[in-house]
């Protein structure tokens, strides 16, 4: 009886041990598969993150290159513009300044400008003529003889220290103002010279 009981106990033990081993092996296999799946997912996620990082770096590099290119183009365009402006200024300023410092030239331009106001009409025109104080000696006789007597009797002439070069014509009512300074003449001629200067400098 004792032997029979021992056999049953051994059998149950062996079956339990065998079953436990089997379950242990199954659990181990399942754990290995799950670990493999997790590892594969982690690798795939890492690859995806690396790919995304490479893509972002490439985009940032491309953006930086575009910004540098645009900045370079703007710098070149600005530099070209400054060179053009400098060349035009060097070309225009000396002769215009010299011309507007010449009494004969000033007399001719003043006379021509005032004649355009048709001073001999019945209505007449009331004007202010501002001239450089530095040229009062050269222009005083011309203004007295030519302008006031022959062109218009409704003209007020002022030799203004603020008028550095050229002259300014304004209406008594303040309706308009026409300036003929060296800066105005330079601006006028600069518009004409701009395309020619650009072509000359940069082809």
Q: What digits encode the pLDDT tens for the residues 139-187?
A: 888 887 776 665 555 778 888 888 888 888 887 776 778 888 888 888 8
The strand order across the sheet containing 127-132 reads 155-160, 127-132, 167-171, 177-180
List the chain domain ranges. Answer: 1-203
Whether the model pTM is above 0.85: no
- What pLDDT does 35 receive? 80
Q: Please tell me whether residue 168 adopts helix, strand or coil conformation.
A: strand
Classify burial at 71, counting beta carbons within 10 Å of its beta carbon; exposed 0-12, middle 13-18, buried 19 or more: exposed
DSSP-derived letter for residue 139 is H
Low-confidence ranges of the chain (pLDDT < 50): 119
- What pLDDT does 153 receive? 57
DSSP-derived letter for residue 203 is -
Q: How would you classify the pairing of strands 155-160 and 127-132?
A: parallel
Element spanning 68, H or E: helix 2-100
CATH H superfamily, domain 1-203: ATP synthase, E subunit, C-terminal (3.30.2320.30)
């Amino acid at each position: 009886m004792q032997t029979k009981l021992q056999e049953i106990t051994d059998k149950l033990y062996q079956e339990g041990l065998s079953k436990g081993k089997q379950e242990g092996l199954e659990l181990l296999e399942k754990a290995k598969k799950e670990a493999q799946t997790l590892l594969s997912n982690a690798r795939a996620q890492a690859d995806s993150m690396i790919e995304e990082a490479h893509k972002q770096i490439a985009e940032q590099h491309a953006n930086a290159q575009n910004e540098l290119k645009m900045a370079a183009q703007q710098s070149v365009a600005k530099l070209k513009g400054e060179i053009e402006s400098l060349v035009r200024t060097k070309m225009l300023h000396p002769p215009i300044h010299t011309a507007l410092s010449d009494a004969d030239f000033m007399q001719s331009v003043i006379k021509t400008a005032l004649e355009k106001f048709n001073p001999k009409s019945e209505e007449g025109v009331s004007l202010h003529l501002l001239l450089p104080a530095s040229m009062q000696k050269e222009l005083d006789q011309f203004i007295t003889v030519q302008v006031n007597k022959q062109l218009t009797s409704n003209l007020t002439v002022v030799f203004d220290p603020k008028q550095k070069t050229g002259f300014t014509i304004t209406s008594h009512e303040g309706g308009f103002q026409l300036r003929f300074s060296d800066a105005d003449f330079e601006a006028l001629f600069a518009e004409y010279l701009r395309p020619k200067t650009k072509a000359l400098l940069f082809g």
